[in-house]
């Protein structure tokens, strides 16, 4: 595909409907709809886990065509309680999506997810293929043991100074198992301890998002409202292998392989290396695969954003999406 930005982001829009949906005795989810109320439903799944949605995420979709559904997953964004990891599993998130779909009266929708959002999109699709029209997936993360190990320790090969600061967030004698060391602090009851750990964790990721690190992105990831969700929930899901058997998403891809899909991956994605996207494409050869040669992980890398908008535009042309 062309590297020229022939598919720019759509203009900023506001939601036409928002709400808070209680899903159990602990969690209440923020949800919103924007675009065309009578348009093609599309579900946007944010990353992290714990990152939450942002207004810019609406801009991947033509608002004249799409009925854009977004929500903040358990413990993320405007959902409450922020950073809550109890009663928070992949299976519960899948059930939440179905509650939202039923509440909105959506029969089928296009599913769009990046990073952890790609994990959840695949897990949701494999659980409920009959309600999915297709998939747009970016920065593939399958939450395997190898990927978790890479995130915690492997990124030091490209960002040694960033990883050193991350490791220095815990005592030297605990650095042999950084995940457990951070879990110990992130899940404690002392706000001073868990907030510092969350900022350290989130800064580590934010510093590696773009091919050329962006100060604004790092600052956003360091903020209390973002870092608590990212730090706690990423550690929670990594510690528990996303509550799935290892490589379950690849092993079950046959359940959705009949559906159209587009995979967009940055060549220099250090957070979710391209090998996972390549493995997914090998298991799902009918899915279009776009490896963006001048991009890291972030959805807002110009080449990645261009490819994502191109994908939403291409889905508009398919008869089943009209």
On whether the CB atoms of residues 113 and 141 are closer than 8 A, the answer is no
CA–CA gap between residue 176 and residue 155 (Å, rounded): 15
34, 79, 115, 227: the catalytic one is 115
* Tally of CA atoms within 13 A in the half-sphere of 302 that contains its CB: 7
Provide the sign of the torsion angle of the four alpha carbons 72, 136, 293, 272, taken in this order: positive
CB environment 8-20: b (16+ within 10 A), e (fewer):
ebbeeeebeeeee
Any idea what the Cα angle at residue 30 is, between residues 74 and 219, rounded to 5°? Answer: 75
CA–CA gap between residue 102 and residue 96 (Å, rounded): 10
297 is catalytic: yes
Run of H or E residues at 133: strand 132-138
Query: Does residue 94 sit in helix, strand or coil?
Result: helix
269, 276, 281, 290: the catalytic one is 269
Provide the sign of the torsion angle of the four alpha carbons 218, 224, 227, 230, taken in this order: negative
Question: How many residues in total does the chain contain?
Answer: 322
In this structure, how many other beta carbons lie within 10 angstroms of the beta carbon of residue 182? 27
DSSP state of 108: -
269 is catalytic: yes
CA–CA gap between residue 94 and residue 126 (Å, rounded): 10
CA–CA gap between residue 49 and residue 25 (Å, rounded): 21
Phi and psi of 277, rounded to 5°? Answer: -65, -40
CA–CA gap between residue 190 and residue 3 (Å, rounded): 48
The catalytic residue positions are 115, 269, 297
């Amino acid at each position: 595909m062309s590297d020229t930005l022939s598919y720019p982001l759509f203009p900023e829009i506001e939601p036409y409907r928002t709400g808070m949906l209680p899903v159990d005795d602990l969690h209440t989810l923020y949800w919103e709809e924007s675009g065309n109320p009578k348009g093609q439903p599309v579900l946007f799944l944010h990353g992290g886990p714990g990152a939450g949605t942002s207004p810019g995420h609406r801009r991947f979709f033509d608002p004249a065509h799409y009925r854009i559904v977004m929500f903040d997953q358990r413990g993320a964004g405007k959902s409450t309680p922020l950073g809550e990891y109890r009663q928070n599993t992949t299976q519960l998130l899948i059930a939440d999506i179905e509650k939202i779909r039923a509440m909105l009266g959506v029969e089928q929708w296009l599913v769009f997810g990046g990073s952890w959002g790609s994990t959840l999109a695949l897990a949701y699709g494999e659980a409920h293929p009959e309600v999915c029209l297709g998939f747009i997936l970016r920065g593939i993360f399958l939450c395997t043991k190898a990927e978790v190990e890479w995130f915690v320790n492997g990124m030091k090969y490209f960002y040694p100074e960033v990883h050193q600061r991350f490791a220095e967030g815990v005592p030297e004698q605990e650095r042999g198992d950084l995940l457990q060391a951070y879990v110990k602090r992130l899940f404690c009851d002392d706000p001073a301890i868990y907030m510092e750990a969350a900022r350290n964790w989130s800064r580590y990721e934010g510093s590696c998002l773009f091919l050329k690190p962006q100060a604004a992105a790092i600052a956003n990831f360091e903020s209390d409202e973002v870092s608590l969700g990212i730090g706690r929930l990423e550690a929670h899901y990594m510690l528990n292998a996303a509550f799935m058997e290892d490589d379950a998403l690849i092993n079950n891809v046959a359940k959705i392989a009949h559906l159209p899909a587009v995979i967009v991956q940055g060549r220099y994605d250090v957070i979710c290396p391209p090998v996972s996207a390549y493995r997914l494409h090998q298991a799902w050869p009918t899915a279009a695969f776009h490896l963006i040669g001048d991009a890291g992980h972030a959805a807002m890398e110009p080449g990645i954003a261009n490819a994502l908008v191109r994908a939403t535009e291409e889905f508009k042309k398919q008869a089943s999406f009209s």
